[in-house]
Amino acid sequence: MNTSQRRGAPAGAVFRPTAMLLVAYLSAFFLVFAVLLVLPALLPLLQSAVPGPELQALAKETARSTLSPRLGLAFGLAVVATTLGVWLRVLPGLPKA
């Protein structure tokens, strides 16, 4: 028996991690949009302050307070971007048909 053919699996069966890729794309888009939504609030803070533990705590609190009400928006934009990528067939690794 060939190592590529196992008992119980059809002869032409190939592993295609479509669902896992969709979750990975959705997560990546979510992170990108979350960073883009927080960045305008963090840039002035980071340009005007001296690096240190106080700045880190202030940046963390600013990011949390800025992103908290916008998490739904970031997730919605991630869903739209993933859906458009699948529909336009531009996301690598996903089936074309």
What is the predicted pLDDT for the residue at 73? 97
- Domains of the chain, by residue range, sit at 18-87
- Tell me the mean pLDDT in the region 7-20: 75
Q: 0.85 cut: is pTM over it?
A: no
Residue 37 has pLDDT above 90, yes or no: yes
CA 74 distance to own-chain centroid: 10
Upper half-sphere CA count for residue 92 (Cβ side, 13 Å): 0
What is the predicted pLDDT for the residue at 11? 72
Contact between residue 22 and residue 83 where contact means Cβ atoms under 8 Å apart: no
Note the pLDDT tens digit of each residue in 49-72. 788 889 899 999 999 999 999 999
- Tell me the mean pLDDT in the region 23-49: 94
What is the predicted pLDDT for the residue at 49? 76
**Rounded Cα distance, 29 and 70, in Å:** 14
How far CA 80 is from CA of 14, 85, 86, in Å, comes to 29, 8, 10
DSSP track, 20-78: HHHHHHHHHHHHHHHHHHHHHHHHHHHHHS-SSHHHHHHHHHHHHHHHGGGHHHHHHHH
What is the predicted pLDDT for the residue at 94? 85
